[in-house]
């Protein structure tokens, strides 16, 4: 069998199973969860955006999700998750720019139903997949309720998660493979047709009507009791209260793997020792929420530019030797500036300097685009007062985070 099935191949396979030419076995589908299980999900979206029927732009979106089971009760598990969303910007090298970070906590039953507080924006799609409490054979189909949630704070000023329900249609397609591993294939389809007129008297701009569809193939790991991956075609249209129409259409892929916890203190101690041995100047290490941070203070660029001075490249090369110790970890590069110029200028400069450093790391480490993210914080996260030259020197820095997941 081929590693990935096209839809025509899936249909032929299903017809053979239903005709009795291929053997058919019943399967129980359910999530399996154990305390301290950790998962890492990488999702990529290739999206085209149309405004009032006219093509506007193309977007590549990367979502990194880390999830951990923190409690197990009866037939459900409590999960804490962090969602990092980013979008690519193309220059000399493609780098993903971190847009938003979300935290979420929810319960998920063995059959896939969620219990989640209304304050959370993530995950966007909930109760998908949901399984029936019975064994399934290839060709079996079922329906279940699901919902989508969107963050419309920017542009719309709607402060609460924007939620709408949908009915999801499922079909078990049979056994296949994903990247050389056995998998059960599930078709997942739903249409969206939702009106939101309840927002009429509260917000000047809101999505008056939402329409669209999602057509997915999910690869399920029966042994792990977890999704392995999915592939999706989608389209969603927001008809706004001002008469404008926004259409988002494209494809998405995702894969899920088990992740290893990081002993942050041990990593920190190892990095401090090697920084001292390698004589890397103006470098410090600390533990952060997302991983272990290498801070390069007073990194020198040409005036008002993102071009490092020649001496800084040697410093970055020595940092690369440290990052090679952790080949399975992703990297976040954050640029910071001292308090000078305008807020907009500081933010743009910090982002461009982070992009320059990330491009250098990508080339030296020879890693994929999705292993790196950047963000710029301008002068918004100082580590020292900006009223002295010494304080400005410390604040003029680049931080490289070795991410836990």
* Residue 13 predicted with pLDDT over 70: no
Q: Does residue 1 lie in a domain region?
A: no
Q: Both 74 and 212 in a single domain?
A: yes
* Residue 245 predicted with pLDDT over 90: yes
CATH number, position 316: 3.30.1330.60
The pLDDT tens digits for 131-181 are: 999 999 999 999 999 999 999 999 899 999 999 999 999 999 999 999 999
What average pLDDT score do residues 278-302 get? Answer: 88
Say how many domains are in the chain: 2
What average pLDDT score do residues 105-132 get? Answer: 98
Q: Both 296 and 372 in a single domain?
A: yes
Query: What six digits make up the tokens of 4?
Result: 């990935």
The predicted pLDDT at position 68 comes to 95
pTM of the model as a whole: 0.86
DSSP summary character for residue 363: H
* Residue 92 predicted with pLDDT over 70: no
What average pLDDT score do residues 65-74 get? Answer: 96
Q: Both 279 and 358 in a single domain?
A: yes
Q: Which of 204, 229, 258 is the last residue of a domain?
A: 258
Q: Both 36 and 159 in a single domain?
A: yes
For residues 164-173, one letter each, b for 16 or more C-beta atoms within 10 angstroms of the residue's C-beta and e for the rest, the string is eebebebbbb
* Residue 311 predicted with pLDDT over 80: no
Q: Which of 226, 258, 290 is the last residue of a domain?
A: 258
The predicted pLDDT at position 4 comes to 39
**Would you say how long the chain is, in residues?**
405
Which of 108, 196, 115 minimizes the C-alpha distance to 150? Answer: 196
* Dist. CA 345–CA 76, nearest whole Å: 49
Q: Both 160 and 182 in a single domain?
A: yes
The predicted pLDDT at position 1 comes to 32
Q: Both 246 and 197 in a single domain?
A: yes
Query: What six digits make up the tokens of 291?
Result: 């991983």
pLDDT confidence of 2, banded at 50, 70, 90? very low
Q: Does residue 294 lie in a domain region?
A: yes
Q: Which of 258, 290, 308 is the last residue of a domain?
A: 258
Q: Does residue 39 lie in a domain region?
A: yes
The predicted pLDDT at position 5 comes to 42
What percentage of the chain has pLDDT greater than the value 70? 92
Q: Does residue 345 lie in a domain region?
A: yes
CATH number, position 171: 2.30.230
* Residue 230 predicted with pLDDT over 80: yes
Helix, strand, coil percentages in the chain from 3-state DSSP, rounded to 5: 20, 45, 35
The pLDDT tens digits for 315-360 are: 889 999 999 999 989 999 999 988 888 889 889 989 988 998 998 9
Q: Both 269 and 235 in a single domain?
A: no
Q: Both 55 and 183 in a single domain?
A: yes
Q: Does residue 2 lie in a domain region?
A: no
Contact call for residues 296 and 317 (beta carbons, < 8 A) = no
The pLDDT tens digits for 384-405 are: 888 887 888 788 889 999 998 7
Structural domain containing residue 240: 7-258
Q: Both 243 and 334 in a single domain?
A: no
* Dist. CA 246–CA 225, nearest whole Å: 37
Q: Does residue 389 lie in a domain region?
A: yes
The pLDDT tens digits for 279-290 are: 998 899 999 988
Q: Both 371 and 222 in a single domain?
A: no
């Amino acid at each position: 069998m081929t590693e990935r099935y096209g839809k025509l191949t899936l249909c032929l396979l299903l017809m053979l199973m239903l005709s009795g030419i291929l053997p058919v076995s019943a399967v129980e589908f359910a999530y399996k969860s154990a305390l301290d299980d950790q998962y890492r999900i990488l999702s990529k979206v290739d999206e085209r955006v149309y405004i009032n029927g006219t093509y506007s732009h193309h977007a590549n979106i990367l979502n990194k999700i880390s999830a951990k089971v923190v409690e197990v009760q009866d037939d459900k598990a409590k999960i804490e998750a962090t969602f990092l969303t980013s979008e690519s910007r193309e220059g000399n090298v493609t780098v993903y720019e971190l847009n938003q970070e979300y935290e979420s906590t929810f319960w998920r039953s063995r059959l896939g139903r969620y219990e989640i507080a209304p304050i959370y924006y993530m995950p966007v799609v909930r109760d998908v997949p949901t399984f029936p409490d019975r064994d399934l054979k290839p060709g079996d189909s079922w329906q279940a309720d699901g919902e989508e949630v969107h963050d419309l704070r920017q542009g719309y000023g709607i402060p609460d998660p924007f939620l709408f329900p949908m009915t999801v249609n499922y079909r078990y397609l049979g056994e296949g493979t994903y990247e050389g591993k056995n998998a059960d294939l599930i078709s997942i389809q739903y249409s969206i047709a939702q009106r939101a007129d309840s927002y009429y008297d509260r917000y000047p701009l809101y999505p008056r009507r939402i329409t669209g569809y999602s057509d997915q193939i999910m690869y399920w790991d029966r042994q792990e009791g977890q999704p392995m991956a999915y592939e999706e075609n989608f389209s969603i249209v927001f008809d706004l209260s001002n008469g404008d129409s926004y259409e988002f259409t494209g494809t998405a892929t995702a894969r899920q793997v088990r992740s290893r916890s990081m002993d942050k203190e041990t990593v920190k101690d190892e990095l401090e020792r090697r920084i001292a041995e390698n004589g890397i100047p103006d470098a410090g290490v600390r533990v952060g929420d997302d991983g272990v941070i290498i801070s390069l203070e007073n990194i020198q660029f040409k005036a008002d530019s993102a071009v490092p001075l020649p001496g800084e490249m040697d410093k970055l090369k020595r940092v690369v030797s440290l990052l090679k110790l952790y080949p399975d970890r992703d990297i976040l590069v954050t640029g910071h500036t001292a308090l000078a110029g305008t807020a907009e200028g500081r933010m743009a400069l910090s982002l461009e300097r982070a992009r320059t450093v990330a491009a250098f790391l990508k080339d030296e480490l020879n890693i994929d685009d999705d292993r790196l993210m950047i963000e710029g914080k301008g002068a918004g996260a100082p580590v020292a007062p900006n009223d002295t030259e010494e304080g400005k020197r410390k604040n003029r820095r680049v931080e490289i985070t070795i991410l836990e997941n």
